[in-house]
Every structure is written in C-alpha cells, then in structure tokens.
C-alpha cells in the first residue's frame, strides 16, 4: 500500500504501547484464578460488549467475507443480520443470562468445564477440551495467516518474521494478564475497528454520490457479471442469486447459516457470559454489541459489493477480475486505490486490531482447554497443587506453538474455509449439549455424549467425503474411492452444518429420552 | 408493489430479498441501541 512507512511505524508503535499498557493493567488487576480465567465474573457492560464483538469479528470477516460480497453481492447482508439477531440479541438476552447463572452454580471456569459439570462427567470436560485443543489451532492459524499476510504487505517484512512478531505480541499479553488483559485490549481495539469501518462506509457512499446513487449504479452494472458466475446463479450485486443455484447454496448454507447460526456455540464467545456479574450487564451490552456488529459485518458486505462500482468505472472490469480472482485481495486493493492515505493508516490499525482481538481470545481459550481442562482436570484430576493460572499458561504456550506450525505450513487460501469449518464443527458438536444443557432438564449425560460425538464425526465426514469445497482440495475421498466426492449434484453443495447439526439434535433428544434422567436434586439445584 | 417502489426510491435496490436484509441489519442494530437504553437501569 502507498503509505508513509515512517508514519505507519510511529502510529503502530503508539498503538502497541497502549495495547501493552492495557495488557499490563489487566495483569495488575489479576489476583486469583477466577480473574485470570473469567475476569473475576465482574466485567463491565461496555468492555464485555466490545470485547465480545472484537473477538467475534476477525480480519477474515472483514477482508475474506467483504471480498466474498464483492464477488457474490449484497445477499451476504443476511449474514450480517443473523450475526446481530443470533450473535447479539439471542446470545445476550436468551442464552447469556442462563449461561451466566448456571455457570456460576456449577463453578465452571471454561466452556468444557461447564459441559462437564452440567452433565456430571469430568471425562466430558477433558473430551471437549481435547477437541478444542485439536481443532481451535486450525482456526487460530487462519487468523495468524491473514495477519501475517497483511503485515508482510504493509511493512515489507518476510512472512515468517511477520508471523512470529504478531504471535509474540499477542502471546505476551495473553499469557501474562489472562482474560482481563484480553478484554481490555479487545475493547481498545474494538473502538479503532468501529472508527475505521464507520469512516469506510461514510467515505464510500459520499464519494459514490450517496446511498441511492451508489446502489443504482451497482444495479446497472449487473451486465458486467462474468459469464461463469452468471451460469452459477449470479443475478447482479444487488440481487439474491438464483434459487437453488451453486452460488445460492454457497451463500445460504455455508456462509449465512453456517457462520450466522454457528456463532452461538463458539466456546470462546459462550464462555464470556460467565464473565459478568448480573443480567443487567448483559442487557446493557446489547446497546454496543448490535451497532458494532453492523458496523463490522454489514459495512464490509456493503462496501465489498460497492467496490465493483469503482473497479468497473476505472478499469472496465469487476473487482473479482481486477485482482485476479482472489477475493482476499479485493478489500485491501480497494482501500489502497480508493481511499486517502490517512484513511489507509486508520484502516491498517483497524485490521491489525481485528486480528489481535480474535487471536487473543483464541489463545486464551486454547490455553484453558488444554492446560486447565485436559492437563489439570483430566490428567492430574485436579490433584495438583499448582494454580489454574500455571496450567493455563503452559496450555497457551503449547497451543500457540501448534497454531504457529500450522500457520507456517498451511496454504494462504485456507483462511475463510478453516473459519467456516471450525464454526461448523463447533455448532454440530456442541450446540445440542450447550443449549439442551441450559434449557432442557431431561437432557442426560448419555444424550450429551452422543450428540457431541455424532455432531463432530458427521461434520468431519461430510467435510472430507461430501462437501465439494473441502473434499476436492483435501483429496482424501478421491484417494480412497477414486471419486472427488461420495455424493454429487446439490448434495455436494450442502454445508455440513445442515446435515450434522440436525442429526446431532435428533440424537441428543432420542438418547436423552431413552436413558436414565439426571438426579432430581442436582437438576433442581442448577435450574 | 408500493413497498418495492418505496425501497427503490429510498435505497436504490429493487430485489426485496436484498433491501429486506439491508433494512433488517440497520433496524436490528438500532433496536439494540433502544433496548440497551430502555433497560439500562433494570433490576437483575
């Protein structure tokens, strides 16, 4: 990007000093295990909302999905709506209060521990912790790859150096200060993200002649859609793709439903509800949470689509064609060419903030899953005299190293895919046990186990053998069966979440009804 | 029909599936603001 490197380095240095300052503040306020793991169950509404939102929205959500909107159009706004409806309104007002109260009664400090204590099975805690230890580094690696790619481009440093610097900065404040440091830095980073995206929206609309003019121009450019996309169902950037077409299935099943609904069962987000002291804080958090998600996801999809106005007017080609059909390059290219230099500086900080805030929470959740749930409570069975902080710190270091190795060896184009895969797997594996555990008194330990295993295994199977987007590049199905996917036609387009999650829910209900209910006294004590 | 004409006039988008998503995004974000303000001092 054409920015003054000295100025960028100076601003980034100030930004990092503030980040470390807030990390240090979190460390100084951390006195107990509960502070390190759960912010002392006393986080304020503003910090909670901004931290949740900043964790929710990663760089790939802005660049990857914004670029996807540039390719497929404003249909992705349904995802932004679901992000607000499900990720904020339902999560904070329906699931949050129940999770907060029950988590406290169960003395749970982590998502795996919540499930383990709810179903009176320490092995379930270890199992879920282990599942997160293996799958979450893949998601974290995608955030690291996106960040390192961007830092490499902006600062002109090698990929490996960018990767190590970024991971080290986040690791330092997460390891030292725990979740309090994560939440304070998240809140600061969220403010920068909000400012960056708000400026992007206002500047784009104003430079394109206003809302109506910008949208009308985009509608009139529909004939520029490349023929291969038209054949796949593309009807223009201000129209939904043709029903049942290839693009329609990709948008509706993978992106809108997969990511939109999948957000509920994200362990790094669900655990946040146990970090506030009362329901009033959750209600207050909604005030900042909704607008924040709109300003991140909604604006990325609107501006991503509108970027076509610029590229078609300037170069007589769509954004997707202009960048060589790599959707991840569209937003950075658009910002670089369309926006003034001062904005590029702000937007760069906004993207670094998005990456750091998501990575910080990922590191903390991976560390608690491995260090606390698997090692301390699984292997040592809680007998060690060392504090949970020690085990969590060990867990964070080990899982960050795993994520770093993955970020080094995985291809760059895995960013959006691995994000969707992680969210899909979490939804299918954990949603029935999590929601059932919160609201259904008849949910049994066996039902929870069955749903977790069926959801996880079905999800993996569908990714590897049926869903073409993953099965074809993975090549395992082709190697074993000679065919790229086991099923063809529409089935190969249906996201695993639409198969594995209903199956997991059915299994949870059926097995729970067939097995011995949990003790009445216990159920009464937690509901 | 009147709704479609209204939305084309206000947003410049003809497809109801798109302007509805657009309106719902903005509307739900605003609803969050009003809800948060209204319940700011609610008892737990």
- Smallest Cα–Cα separation from A128: which of A258, A270, A253, A33? A270
First to last CA, chain A: 55
User: How high is the pLDDT of residue A394?
Assistant: 93
Q: State the Rg of chain B over Cα.
A: 15
For residues A160-166, average pLDDT: 93
Instruction: Convert A372-386 into a string of H (helix), E (strand) and C (coil).
Output: HHHHHHHHCCCCCCC
CB A58, CB A236: distance < 8 Å: no
**pLDDT attached to residue A1:** 52
Cα of A235 to nearest chain B Cα, Å: 10
Listed range (A4-18, A84-98, A408-422) with the worst mean pLDDT = A408-422
pLDDT at A151: 85
Q: Which domains does chain A have, with CATH numbers?
A: 5-416 (1.20.1730.10), 440-527 (no CATH)
> How much is the average pLDDT of A211-218?
94
Flag whether residue A216 sits within 8 Å of chain B, measured between CB atoms: yes
CA–CA gap between residue A83 and residue A79 (Å, rounded): 6
How many angstroms separate the CA atoms of A370 and A398, rounded? 9
Mean pLDDT of A236-251: 91
The residues near A385 (Cβ < 8 Å, ≥ 6 apart) are: none
Q: Model confidence over A332-390: pLDDT tens digits?
A: 889 988 988 888 888 889 989 999 999 999 999 999 999 999 998 888 877 777 788 89
Q: How far apart are CA A41 and CA A174, in angstroms?
A: 18
H/E stretch holding A314 reads: helix A299-315
Identify which has the larger pLDDT, A382 or A208.
Answer: A208
Please give the structure tokens belonging to residue A143. Answer: 């955030």
* CA distance linking residue A263 with residue A205, whole number of Å: 30
Closest CA to A73 of A315, A301, A331: A301
CA angle A307/A291/A147 to nearest 5° reads 55
Q: Which residues of A touch B4 (CB under 8 A)?
A: none
Residue A453 CB contacts under 8 Å (≥ 6 apart), including other chains: none
For A468-503, the pLDDT digits (tens) are 888 888 788 898 999 989 998 888 888 888 899 999
Question: Model confidence at A166, in pLDDT bands (50, 70, 90)?
Answer: very high
> CA of B3, closest CA in chain A: separation in Å?
16
The predicted pLDDT at position A132 comes to 94
Report chain A residues whose CB lies below 8 A from the CB of B40: 283-284, 287
Q: Look at B21 and A74 and tell me if their CB atoms are within 8 Å.
A: yes
Tokens 């961007």, located at residue = A150
Instruction: Give mean pLDDT, residues A415-443.
Output: 89
Region of poorest pLDDT, from A14-28, A29-43, A53-67, A130-144: A53-67
Q: What is the 3-state secondary structure (H, E, C) of A386-449?
A: CCHHHHHHHHHHHHHHHHHHHHHHCCHHHHHHHHHHHHHHHHHHHHHHHHHHHHCCCCCHHHHH
Q: What is the mean pLDDT of residues A255-262?
A: 75
- The reported pLDDT for the residue numbered A2 is 60
Cβ–Cβ contact A220 with B under 8 A: no
Q: What is the pLDDT of residues A269-315, one digit of tens each?
A: 999 999 998 999 999 999 999 999 999 999 999 999 999 999 999 99
Q: How far apart are CA A27 and CA A38, in angstroms?
A: 13
B30 vs A contacts (CB less than 8 Å): 290-291
| Total CB pairs under 8 A between chain A and B | 106
- Model confidence band, residue A327 (pLDDT cutoffs 50, 70, 90): confident
Of B9, B13, B17, the CB nearest to A219: B13
| Whole-number pLDDT of residue A493 | 86
Tokens of B13: 């988008």
Choice between A128 and A6, residue whose per-residue pLDDT is larger: A128
| Whole-number pLDDT of residue A361 | 92
Rounded to two decimals, the ipTM of the complex is: 0.92
> What pLDDT is stored for residue A265 in this prediction?
87
With CB atoms and an 8 Å threshold, state whether B12 touches A291. no
Comparing CB atoms, the residue among A215, A291, A298 nearest residue B11 is A215
Average pLDDT, chain A: 91
Q: Which residue has 């002649």 as its token pair?
A: A209
- The reported pLDDT for the residue numbered A387 is 81
Within 8 A of B5 by CB-CB distance, chain A residues are none
CA–CA gap between residue A325 and residue A526 (Å, rounded): 53
Global pTM reads 0.90
Three-state SS at A50: helix
- 3-class secondary structure per residue, B6-42: HHHHHHCCCCHHHHHHHHHHHHHHHHHHHHHHHCCCC
User: Which chain B residue has the Cα nearest residue A211?
Assistant: B11
Residues A18 and A374: beta-carbon distance below 8 Å: no
Average pLDDT of A400-429?
A: 84
Q: Which of A215, A240, A257, A216 is nearest to A431 (CA)?
A: A257
pLDDT in tens, A114-125: 999 999 999 999
What pLDDT digit, counting tens, does each position of B1-44 carry? Answer: 676 777 777 788 889 999 999 999 999 999 999 999 999 988 76
CB B14 to CB A239 under 8 A? yes
Q: Check residue A343 and give its pLDDT.
A: 86
Of A54-68, A178-192, A330-344, give the range with the top mean pLDDT. A178-192
The pLDDT score that the predictor gives to residue A145 is: 87
- Spatial distance between the Cα atoms of A131 and A112, rounded to a whole number of angstroms: 10
Give the residue extent of every domain in chain B: 2-7+15-38
Write down the pLDDT at residue A198.
95
Q: Above 60 in pLDDT, residue A25? A: yes
HSE of A63 in the Cβ direction (CA atoms, 13 Å)? Answer: 27
């Amino acid at each position: 990007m054409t920015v003054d490197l000295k100025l960028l380095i100076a601003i980034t240095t100030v930004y990092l000093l503030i980040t470390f300052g807030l990390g240090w503040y979190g460390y100084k306020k951390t006195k107990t295990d509960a502070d390190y793991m759960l912010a002392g169950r006393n986080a304020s509404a503003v910090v909670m909302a901004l931290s949740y939102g900043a964790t929710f929205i990663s760089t790939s959500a802005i660049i990857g999905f914004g670029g996807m909107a540039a390719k497929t159009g404003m249909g992705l706004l349904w995802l932004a709506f679901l992000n607000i409806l499900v990720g904020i309104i339902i999560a904070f007002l329906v699931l949050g209060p129940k999770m907060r109260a029950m988590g406290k009664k169960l003395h749970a400090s982590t998502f795996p521990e919540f499930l383990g204590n709810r179903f009176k099975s320490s092995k379930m805690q270890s199992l879920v912790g282990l599942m997160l230890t293996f799958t979450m580094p893949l998601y974290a690696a995608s955030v690291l790859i996106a960040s390192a790619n961007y830092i490499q481009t902006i600062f002109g440093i090698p990929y490996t150096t960018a990767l190590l610097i970024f991971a080290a900065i986040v690791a330092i404040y997460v390891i030292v200060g725990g979740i309090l440091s994560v939440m304070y830095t998240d809140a600061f980073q969220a403010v920068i993200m909000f400012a960056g995206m708000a400026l992007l929206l206002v500047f784009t609309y104003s430079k394109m002649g206003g809302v109506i003019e910008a949208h009308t121009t985009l509608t009139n450019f529909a004939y520029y859609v490349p023929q291969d996309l038209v054949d796949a169902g593309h009807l223009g950037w201000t129209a939904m793709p043709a029903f049942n077409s290839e693009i329609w299935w990709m948008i509706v099943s993978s992106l809108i439903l997969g990511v939109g609904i999948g957000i509920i069962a994200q362990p790094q987000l669900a655990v946040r509800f146990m970090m506030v002291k009362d329901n009033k804080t959750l209600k207050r958090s909604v005030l900042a949470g909704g607008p924040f998600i709109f300003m991140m996801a909604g604006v990325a999809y609107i501006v991503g689509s509108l970027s076509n106005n610029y590229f078609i007017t300037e170069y007589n080609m769509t954004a997707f064609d202009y960048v060589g059909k790599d959707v991840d390059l569209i937003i950075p290219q658009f910002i670089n060419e369309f926006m003034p230099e001062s904005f590029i500086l702000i937007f760069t900080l906004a993207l670094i903030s998005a990456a750091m805030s998501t990575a910080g929470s990922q590191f903390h959740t991976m560390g608690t899953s491995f260090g606390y749930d698997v090692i301390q409570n699984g292997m040592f069975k809680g007998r060690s005299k060392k504090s949970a902080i020690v085990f969590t710190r060990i867990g964070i270091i080990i899982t960050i190293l795993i994520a770093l190795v993955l970020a080094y060896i995985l291809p760059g184009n895995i960013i959006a895919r691995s994000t969707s895969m992680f969210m899909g797997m979490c939804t299918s594996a954990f949603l029935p046990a999590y929601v059932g555990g919160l609201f259904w008194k008849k949910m049994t330990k066996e039902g929870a186990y069955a749903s977790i295993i069926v959801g996880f295994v079905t999800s993996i199977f569908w990714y590897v053998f049926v869903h073409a987007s993953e099965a074809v590049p993975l090549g395992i199905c082709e190697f074993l069966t000679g065919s790229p996917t086991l099923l063809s036609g529409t089935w190969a387009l249906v996201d695993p979440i639409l198969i594995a999650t209903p199956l997991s829910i059915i299994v949870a209900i059926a097995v729970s009804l067939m097995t011995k209910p949990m003790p009445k006294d216990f159920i009464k004590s937690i509901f | 029909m009147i709704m479609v004409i209204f939305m084309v006039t206000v947003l410049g988008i003809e497809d109801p599936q798109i302007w509805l998503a657009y309106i719902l995004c903005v509307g739900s974000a605003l609803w969050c603001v009003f809800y948060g303000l209204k319940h700011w001092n609610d008892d737990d």
